[in-house]
Amino acid sequence: MVRTPAVLIERSSGTHWPLMVGAKDVLMAKQLTSIQQRELLNIIWAIVLLQGGILVLSATESFVANLTQGFLLIAVFVLTALAAAATLLAARGLRQRKRWARRLTMTGEWFVLVLGVIELVATQLIDPAGIDLVPLITGAVMPITVLVLMSRAKGLFVSRDDRTETVEHSPELEAAV
């Protein structure tokens, strides 16, 4: 079966409008999906950037705590600083649609979610006075949002070779061409 790069059709559509005629619905649907996915990726990027900032803050706090305790818990600071760097790196990679960035983000979000849920449940068992708003958002809402959006934007993370999207020839498209 012959495949035509959709991106070629997309780029050509300005000057070679007949390419779109007939196959308009199929191609438009594809384009919209791609645009929507890119928009979702923007939301993911913003959340991951925020998470990176929060980890930088946490690393700073850990550094100050270590200063007062003679660097007894230096490992905690190093781990947090590394997590902050990895998160910010992942945010950058997500913009470039790198697959390693997706994997890193997914792993990180699952880690944050599992830890967050454990802490929220433990908090309720130990002190059932109520759930704090901010830990609920940063420990559960944010990672869940990223995981859900990431699954919807999965199509954007393809290898470099497959970066140009392809659509199968349809009778309408062939007729149009």
User: Which residues make up the interface to another protein (CB under 8 A)?
Assistant: 36, 39-40, 42-43, 45-47, 49-50, 52-54, 56-62, 64-65, 69-70, 72-73, 75-77, 79-80, 82-83, 88, 91, 95, 115-116, 119, 122-123, 126-127, 132-139
Return the number of the residue (96 or 161) whose C-beta is nearest another protein: 96
CB of 29 to another protein, least distance (A): 17
- How buried is residue 150: exposed, middle or buried, by Cβ count under 10 Å (0-12/13-18/19+)? buried
Return the number of the residue (21 or 89) whose C-beta is nearest another protein: 89
CB of 105 to another protein, least distance (A): 15
CB of 59 to another protein, least distance (A): 7
3-state secondary structure of 40: helix
Return the number of the residue (50 or 167) whose C-beta is nearest another protein: 50
Among candidate residues 155, 164, 118, the one with its CA nearest the CA of residue 140: 118
Among candidate residues 90, 16, 95, the one with its CA nearest the CA of residue 55: 90
Backbone angles phi, psi at 153, to 5 degrees: -100, 15
The CA distance from 58 to 92, in Å, is: 20
